[in-house]
Amino acid sequence: MPASRLADVLMETLLAPSPQDDVCLLALGFGAGPRFDRELGAQPEELAPLRDDLRAWLTGNAVVGHDRDALVFACSEAVTNAIEHAYRDVAAGLVWVSATMGSDGVVLRVTDHGHWRPPGQVEDRGRGLLLLDKLMDDIDVDHETGTTVTMRKQVKGS
């Protein structure tokens, strides 16, 4: 997890509810690695922190401008679909997001273990996959066990 999130989790886990003295914690991260991984609850409030973390990871890997924005939007759209559709009949679920940097660009994968609902079953909806198709160079949807959306985007400089 990113250093800022790690610091929050450690403070919540290790501190007594009312500490007797001042407490300081420093968490430091060095650059962005070639892989991004997140597990999040299928709740709308998880989207903003996910977008922030992915945006920072992409920027740390020199993916900026339109390419970065397209990847962040595509990830957000795929996760939103999982939240709204895959787990519509259950109280809680998890969504996994991974991204890797490679010589051929970024591979972004969003996975849930909910139930697939084909596009167009809800009136005035169902444009998410169309948007992803326009933003990414390649998109693959596997809904054999849950749903995994795999997207690829060639980025400038890669």
Distance CA 66, CA 63 (A): 9
Residues of the chain with pLDDT below 50 are 158
Task: Assess if residue 158 is contained within a domain.
Answer: no
Task: Assess if residue 93 is contained within a domain.
Answer: yes
Residue-number span of the structural domain to which 5 is assigned? 1-30
pLDDT of residue 33: 81
pLDDT of residue 153: 97
Shared-domain flag, residues 26 and 37? no
For the stretch 49-58, contacts whose Cβ atoms lie closer than 8 Å and that sit 24 or more positions apart, written own/partner, are 49/5, 50/75, 50/76, 50/79, 50/97, 51/75, 51/76, 53/2, 53/5, 54/97, 54/99, 56/2, 56/32, 57/32, 57/99, 58/32, 58/99, 58/106
What is the reported pTM?
0.75
pLDDT of residue 144: 83
Task: Assess if residue 130 is contained within a domain.
Answer: yes
Report how many domains make up the chain.
2
